[in-house]
Amino acid sequence: MKPTRVVFLVFPNVTQLDLTGPAQVLSRLPNAKVDLVWKSLDPVQTDSGFALLPTGTLDEVTEADILCIPGGFGCVDVMHDDDALAWVWSVGERAQWMTSVCTGSLILGAAGLLEGYRATSHWAWRDYLKLFGAEPVAERVVFDRNRVTGGGVTAGIDFALALTAQIEGEDYARAIQLGLEYDPHPPFDSGTPSKAGEQLVKQVYERSDRMAPDREERVRAAAERLAGR
Amino acid sequence: MKPTRVVFLVFPNVTQLDLTGPAQVLSRLPNAKVDLVWKSLDPVQTDSGFALLPTGTLDEVTEADILCIPGGFGCVDVMHDDDALAWVWSVGERAQWMTSVCTGSLILGAAGLLEGYRATSHWAWRDYLKLFGAEPVAERVVFDRNRVTGGGVTAGIDFALALTAQIEGEDYARAIQLGLEYDPHPPFDSGTPSKAGEQLVKQVYERSDRMAPDREERVRAAAERLAGR
């Protein structure tokens, strides 16, 4: 039986749940082979105090059935990394599904893969998608042809179940959902800006300003570089 | 400022989302220091096709403010591992919070830390808690004094937000929830046995029978060993 090659890009300061959530779901696709890919096999530091170990390098893993790009503050560096972008473009172009979670969609965009597509991203970064010719959509999971993009971080679980249903059927996805006891009951209702209110939105933006103060300039510069290619 | 030491046990065939979900949340506690702990620093294979890299060994990391034990099919081996159980007992006894996600509660139980406590676990394993003197509770997150247990896999995110609110207040937890865009919209409503229906429940049990055919005997044997200590 042919493997289902599920390939995640990893990079320094990745938001690890962007990929570990979907990996828990997509690793249950029939005969799935999961890869975490970066420039070397050295551990890659995440945003959560521990490192992830790549299973292969950009040179080694050159094909995917599902390519999935996670996000995180490190995305602003990946958007300016020619080797990484060339890999994303090349693997993505030949993949059956080109996907992302959170700000990973901006990496897809910077690689030139979202022009003319509807897509989503983390709510605080979603509008930047326009810079790459994509149409930002305020939904948790957005399908447009073979591009599938998820919203911020935890949206990756919803994204992966939706994609699994698309590939293997709804009952297959439902069984995984039951196995993962995915019947979410957040203790609070503050998961979107409109529900959380201005004060908390301000706090999240302030944290972004501390973590990636130059993010807007860098995203704009990545879009200009794409336009010049 | 004193660090908040958030310590996760990892072990072969751990369900990685049991710990990567909570780690994404708990790493945002003030001055958090996250550790993933096992017998050596060698990569530990998870259930999702990639390995996690411990940050410390059982000998090196001997104190925690929050001890969190994840689950997964590998739990049946940990329940019979004297070194691991002694570590869980010793670190747990002195931790401010003794916590688990999914079948990690059975490891807490096998270490002797849940006798007389209300607790939860993955729905398909929850009744085994009785063997360790705990009272199984069909809720997603259960607080009983300083024991906090979460249900299956994805319940770890709800658990971690609830614990964060307990430690740092509700607004602090809400800001993290907004940052992680945790406004879940599962594409299906099949996250519990009653919602999923008999056929899917049967499928999940059949998978457990393939992955851990001797799980009931091994949990019972662990309970007998605990009773004999």
Q: What is the pLDDT of residue A161?
A: 98
Which of A34, A102, A161, A173 does the annotation list as catalytic? A102
pLDDT above 70 coverage of chain B, percent: 100
Q: Where are the domains of chain A?
A: 4-228
What average pLDDT score do residues B99-113 get? 98
Is B102 designated active site? yes
- CB-nearest partner of B151 from A123, A175, A181: A181
The answer to whether ipTM exceeds 0.90 is yes
What average pLDDT score do residues A162-187 get? 98
Which residues of chain B make contact with A51, given a CB cutoff of 8 A? 53, 55
CATH 3.20.20.60 holds for A4-228: no
Residue B163 has pLDDT above 90, yes or no: yes
Q: How much is the mean pLDDT over chain A?
A: 97
Least CA distance to B163: which residue of chain A? A187
Q: What is the pLDDT of residue B8?
A: 98
Q: Which two tokens stand for residue A118?
A: 């509807």
Q: What is the pLDDT of residue A167?
A: 97
Residue-wise pLDDT for A177-223, tens only, equals: 999 999 999 999 999 999 999 999 999 999 999 999 999 999 999 99
Predicted structure pTM score: 0.97
Residue-wise pLDDT for A99-114, tens only, equals: 999 999 999 999 999 9
pLDDT above 90 coverage of chain B, percent: 98
Residue A77 has pLDDT above 90, yes or no: yes
Q: How much is the mean pLDDT over chain B?
A: 97
Taking an 8 Å cut-off on Cβ atoms, the answer to whether B50 and A36 are in contact is yes
Q: Dump the DSSP string for chain A.
A: ---EEEEEE--TTB-HHHHHHHHHHHTTSTTEEEEEEESSSS-EEBTTSSEE--SEETTT----SEEEE--STTHHHHTT-HHHHHHHHHHHHHSSEEEEETTHHHHHHHTT--TT-EE---TTTGGGGGGGT-EE--SSEEEETTEEEE-STTHHHHHHHHHHHHHH-HHHHHHHHHHTT-----SSS-SSHHHH-HHHHHHHHHHHHHH-TTHHHHHHHHHHHHHH-
C-alpha distance from B65 to closest chain A C-alpha (Å): 16
Taking an 8 Å cut-off on Cβ atoms, the answer to whether B181 and A122 are in contact is yes
Residue B229 pLDDT grade (very low, low, confident, very high; cuts 50, 70, 90): confident
pLDDT above 90 coverage of chain A, percent: 98
Q: What is the pLDDT of residue A50?
A: 98
Residue B149 pLDDT grade (very low, low, confident, very high; cuts 50, 70, 90): very high
What average pLDDT score do residues B70-92 get? 98
Which residues of chain B make contact with A191, given a CB cutoff of 8 A? 177-178, 180-184
Residue A229 has pLDDT above 90, yes or no: no
- CB-nearest partner of A204 from B53, B179, B187: B179
Q: What is the pLDDT of residue B60?
A: 98
Instruction: Count CB neighbours of B143 within 10 A.
Output: 17
